[in-house]
Structure formats: C-alpha cells, structure tokens
A and B are shown apart, each in its own frame.
Chain A
Amino acid sequence: LAKTTQPISMDSYEGQEVNITCSHNNIATNDYITWYQQFPSQGPRFIIQGYKTKVTNEVASLFIPADRKSSTLSLPRVSLSDTAVYYCLVGANQAGTALIFGKGTTLSVSS
C-alpha cells in the first residue's frame, strides 16, 4: 500500500474553501485515492474516492493530477461542523481490502 503524507493540521474560517493536499509518490497503477472524515467519538465516514482527474459529489471535490502522485480534497464554504480529522488513503479498490489510516489532517474551522 502506498504511503501518504498530509499536513497534521489546518485552520480555516467559516465560509472559506479548504484544500487539503495529500502526497502519495509511490501510488500503484491500480490504486485508488479515498478520503475519510472522522468526528470526535465517531467512526470514520467515507467522503469521496477517485482514480484520476476530478471527482465531485455533494460534499467535496477531489482533484488528481495526471501523474497521480498527489491529490487535493476541496471542501467548499466550510462551516463549524466540518471541524474533523480528514484521512487520505491510497490502495487497491477491492472488496475486503484493509484500510490503512495515517494520522490524518485535523481541520479546525472557526467563526
């Protein structure tokens, strides 16, 4: 499984767009990039997944450059409720695959 590197923490204000970048230089050809969100005292929650280019859903966008060695999770107009830990994971998109969580990025949103 490819190792990922992401900032330990980020601060933002309500209404701003937040971009969290994840570095994964050793990503394999069949690896997908997946982001999870975790609130205190809760289990992680799937946000978005992509393989290349751009993916957008109702919660976030995921930008992946052509070389796939990094990816950026974009959260539009964050609110206080977006304060959480965000994990970037890279691995094969296969059922039964164990997820390898790093330390994640702690996002703090202030008013």
Chain B
Amino acid sequence: DAGITQSPRHKVTETGTPVTLRCHQTENHRYMYWYRQDPGHGLRLIHYSYGVKDTDKGEVSDGYSVSRSKTEDFLLTLESATSSQTSVYFCAISDSRRQSYEQYFGPGTRLTVT
C-alpha cells in the first residue's frame, strides 16, 4: 500500500469551529487531492495540489481551503465548520511518472459537525 496517512481518523466538532485535516505521504508523489464521500454522491473532489504551494479548486471547494508547504503534507481546513461538512474525507496521491496515473487513497477521516 502507498504510504499515505491521514489525521485525525475521527473527529467530532461543533458548528462554527475551525478544523484542519492532515494528509501525509512518504511516496514523494507530485499530485495530492482531497475528496469527500457522502451517501448518494460518491466521491467529490474538493481541492488538489500539483506541487508545493500550487493548488487548485475542485468541484465542491466552497467552505474549504488547502495548503501545501512541503511535498509530503497537504492540509485541508474548514474555516468555520457547518453540519453540511459532516462527511468522510479522503486524501489521494498520484505520480506523473507512472503511465496510468492511478490515484492512491488514504484511509479516510470521518468528520462529524454537530
């Protein structure tokens, strides 16, 4: 399995509080992604990064920000958590050096906003 860890794995927070989720990789892959998964919606892309300090928005980026100051870390921040952001969050990485560009996913973070 690709070396991807996510922290925390579970978090319960209150509406209006800031939350930061961390994705850490040991594979030195260039691309990193944040997805959220909700029942009935599959996985949806929030933000992605194509290098240190280089990020872009995905399909559902409102209410989220990201930062990547090192190759190995990609942080997802909910500035003011809302109940609609209760979800399972997955980080993924991919390597432009591989022909098929498949993405490797982390174990996920289950976030509950009360």
Which residues of A does B touch, CB under 8 Å? 32, 34, 41-46, 49, 87, 93-104
Contact = CB atoms under 8 A, between A and B. Distances in A.
Nearest to B37: A101
A93 B100 contact: yes
Nearest to B51: A96
User: Which of A43, A46, A96, A101 counts the most B-chain CB atoms under 10 A from its CB?
Assistant: A43
Interface residues of B, number: 28
Contacts of B96: 95-96
Chain A binding surface, main DSSP class: loop
A97 B108 contact: no
Contact of B42 (A34, A94, A96, A103): A103
Contact of B43 (A41, A97, A101): A101
A43 B101 contact: no
A98 B20 CA distance: 22
